[in-house]
Amino acid sequence: MAEQKKLGYDDTPMLPDVPWHVHDGNRPQPRVVTPGTFATQDAPGLPPSDAIILFNGENLDGWKGKNDTPAPWKVENGYMEVVPKTGDIVSREEFGDCQLHVEWAAPVEVSGDGQGRGNSGVFLMSRYEIQVLDCFENPTYPDGTTGGIYGQCPPLVNACRRPGQWQVYDIVWLAPRFAADKLVSPGRVTVFFNGVVIHHFREVWGPTTHRKLPTVTPHPPVGPLRLQDHNNPVRFRNIWYRPLKGYDVN
């Protein structure tokens, strides 16, 4: 058997707070993931190899509507589309800390203005909305702008593409921590919108509300993803997430 090549060093200083030397060769190797591809207007991106697929363009088996009924939205041509007035849908998967990828498109036919144009929403853990809206040449109140933490924090910039075009959210979510009935640390979110950072580790004060301050109440460490029916036929495709864990071991 070939002798294993020695990696790194064991005569270097210890790093603070972890049991490893600088350049420690015995530190666990990062897990190998095959990366995916970026989305284009013609095709969704390919998820990375360890992604958990929530919607692959074929059916809504992974989703449900009100009272556990089958999700009532339309699926065609590789995307799902909100059927107005049928209600929000939620994923059957429940998760907390994650990297989440969502592609969406506002209706190509522009109707309405302000909050009435291409409105939907990506609700992390069913509670915390990253706003979906067509804000291409469509101003609204800033904390309700596309990519805003609705009612709490506007996006850093408005990086909207034209309505009808596919747009991409890449979200990194750190769920709030509770101990008994107390908030220990709030949720924090980082969002890239069409490749542009619009939130950077931004604190989320509490669940999304309309015209009110959020009320923080403890909830489980995982929850389903919720997509909003706001009466506009917004489309979604290529929705996946990767649970985030492991900082404590390597």
Binding footprint of Mg ion on the chain (CB under 5 A): 119, 121, 228, 230
Strand residue runs (E) in 38-175: 52-55, 63-64, 74-76, 79-81, 89-95, 98-105, 120-124, 128-132, 167-174
User: Look-up: residue for tokens 């969406």?
Assistant: 104
Nearer to Mg ion, 47 or 147 (CB): 147
| CA–CA distance, 247 with 235 (Å, rounded to integer) | 35
Taking the complex as a whole, the smallest distance from the CB of residue 94 to Mg ion amounts, in Å, to 21
Nearer to Mg ion, 51 or 132 (CB): 132
Residue type, 113: D
Q: Which residue is nearest to Mg ion (CB)?
A: 121
Nearer to Mg ion, 97 or 236 (CB): 236
Tokens of 165: 């075009």
The answer to whether the CB of 127 falls within 8 A of the CB of 208 is yes
Taking the complex as a whole, the smallest distance from the CB of residue 169 to Mg ion amounts, in Å, to 13
User: Look-up: residue for tokens 């007035």?
Assistant: 85
Nearer to Mg ion, 119 or 152 (CB): 119
Taking the complex as a whole, the smallest distance from the CB of residue 13 to Mg ion amounts, in Å, to 51
Taking the complex as a whole, the smallest distance from the CB of residue 115 to Mg ion amounts, in Å, to 7
